[in-house]
Amino acid sequence: MQKTENSRLRSLRIAALGALALAAPAVAQQFVDQTSTRFPVQAEYTNQCTIVDVDGDGDKDIVWANGGGYSSLGTLLKPRVFVNNGSGTFADETDARAAGITGCFRGVEAGDVDRDGDWDLVLAQDFNRRPLLLINNGSGTFADQTATRLPNITMGSARAQFGDIDNDGDLDILICNSGANRFSTTGRPRIFVNNGAGVFTDAPTTQFPSTALAEQMDCVFGDIDNDLDLDFHVGTRATGTGSSQLWINDGAGNFAKLGTFVTDFTCYSYDFGDIEGDGDLDLIGINAGSSNTELLLRNNGAGTSWTNISSQISPNPTVDDNDSRFIDYDMDGDLDLLVAALGGPDRMYRNTGTGTFAQVTSGVLPSITDSSLDVKVGDLTGDGKPDIITAQGESGAFQNRIYVNTGAADAIAPNIKLVEQVTPAGVGPFVVRTEVFDQTTSDRGYDDKGVFLLYKVDGGKPQQVAMAWSGNSLWRGVIPAQAACAQVEYWVRALDVSNNVANSPVKSFTVPGSCGVFGDLNGDGIVNAADLAVLLNSWGSGGPADLDGSGSVDAADMTLLLNAFS
């Protein structure tokens, strides 16, 4: 995305960098540019993308958010749908799957808004246009149902995200909104709350008391305080008129802004990731540091204090960068950093294991100069290795790219970081949430093949239910209602696309209620004269011998006890 540089000088700089890239000697790379054989030729302004299995056939497809124009409205474009043939070669099936839909789309994300088992789409639009909600028919064909499902609010938006903010089992929407366009100063970010059937209302300011925030470029959910609910960050490009914001969830979907955060500058993207393996989410802000450098922030563990450790990125140049992802490209167990640049080659930084990053200048990424506005990682070829795609816009040839990973496959099991402890208040059902990480990050969690809740009752056969994705790295499952006094053991199983499996430690709880044999007041398993003695000793008072719940032990309780005699 452009900064303040003169457009003519900018074009000359891009051309010069391109010439240098063409003149550079060929070096074998781990990530190989296979765009010409795997992607259809295109020449459209793409702003962002998402990797998602739209047709439910088990492989990853791609949806591109397209829309022309930078500071003024350009050509309205289709949101392209690229369908995977199962081995990582894609066909453009937009006209069959999203017929008649055009717009100025800056962002796209997937979520199952009506909980029917398929992925729907939200598209953020710029220049005072409504975001669109596209509903999947189950086989990857989408219908625009914005008019009946979303509030009638126009906005200048750069990004939208799905997440279950109130733990009610459905996905809500967080969306950037700067006003007339994404560079405006009058809009405020919005939350659209799901009614459970995929119909949304605008959250009141008592729930989300946001005010005007200029030039919002990004929003992202993340559980920053390890309480298994979704907090979120909103990033702004504005300088001098306000910094990015961090909002904390009270667990019921009510948000309060963290008063003391950081001062940042001209950011285009933020991403969460646990960079040093200490169990909490840290933040990378692309171009959010001074002079267009990256801003790296370490979480203190509680999400209330953040330390600027940008010096741990080396080098940290003043380059026009736009997006990032964490990816363990060398499969050594920590998250490395991938940075997407506009007007220069994308960059990979290797993590030392402690959150210190050093750029890898050869053997990993091709040195290709293009105009990357967005980057995503995921296994697109089905070989268990995370590949890379970039979305190209604003300048250059507008040819989106795919880099196929020829390195080691992922052999590391997912990390089930947290599992909710059930504290039952009745016979159920019982909600269990979990947080799971792996060797890649995205706004929709790790590259998963399923997260499951397993449970057994009174030592019986284990039962399994699929957990639903709830936003970022959270999943939610439900244990059905059980009889009073049942002993329930449960755990989480997570599977990644490389078929690595992790199981959490077992947790347990007892279903509350009246347990044992009715009238067995001394706990010996039978009702006899010994229990009658207990009842007589409690005559006129309350307690366990008050069998009818009247508040006092009397003749009515004696009658009940005698009827229960063994």
pLDDT value, residue 18 = 41
- Contacts with 227 (C-beta within 8 Å, 6 or more apart), sequence order: 251
pTM: 0.88
Sign, Cα dihedral of 209, 215, 218, 223: negative
Cα atoms in the Cβ-side hemisphere of radius 13 Å centred on 505:
7
**pLDDT tens-digit series, residues 434-492:** 999 999 998 999 999 999 999 999 999 999 999 999 999 999 999 999 999 999 999 99
Task: Using the CB atoms, write b or e for 523-557: b if 16+ within 10 Å.
Answer: eeeebeeebbebbeebeeeeeebbbeeeeebeeeb
| Cα gap 42→49, rounded to integer Å | 15
Tell me the pLDDT of the chain averaged across its residues.
92
| Lowest-confidence region among 145-159, 254-268, 318-332, 372-386 | 254-268
| Lowest-confidence region among 104-108, 206-210, 232-236, 260-264 | 260-264
- Contacts with 549 (C-beta within 8 Å, 6 or more apart), sequence order: none
pLDDT value, residue 523 = 67
pLDDT value, residue 265 = 86
pLDDT band, very low/low/confident/very high, at 144 (cuts 50, 70, 90): very high
CB 471 within 8 A of CB 164: yes
Sign, Cα dihedral of 348, 349, 352, 353: negative
pLDDT band, very low/low/confident/very high, at 22 (cuts 50, 70, 90): very low
User: Is the pLDDT at 98 greater than 80, yes or no?
Assistant: yes
User: Is the pLDDT at 72 greater than 90, yes or no?
Assistant: yes
Q: Which is nearest to 331 in space by CA: 215, 478, 498, 179?
A: 498
- Contacts with 237 (C-beta within 8 Å, 6 or more apart), sequence order: 183, 214, 215, 216, 217, 266, 267, 268
| Lowest-confidence region among 48-52, 59-63, 287-291 | 287-291
pLDDT value, residue 27 = 56
Cα dihedral angle (333, 501, 378, 295), rounded to 10 degrees? -40
Percent of the chain scoring above 90 in pLDDT:
82
Structure token pair of residue 555: 């003749």
| Lowest-confidence region among 198-212, 513-527, 550-564 | 513-527
Please tell me whether residue 365 adopts helix, strand or coil conformation.
coil
Mean pLDDT computed over 306-329: 96
**pLDDT tens-digit series, residues 210-250:** 999 999 999 999 999 999 999 999 999 987 667 899 999 99
CB 193 within 8 A of CB 174: no
User: Is the pLDDT at 14 greater than 50, yes or no?
Assistant: no
CB 288 within 8 A of CB 264: yes
pLDDT value, residue 256 = 98
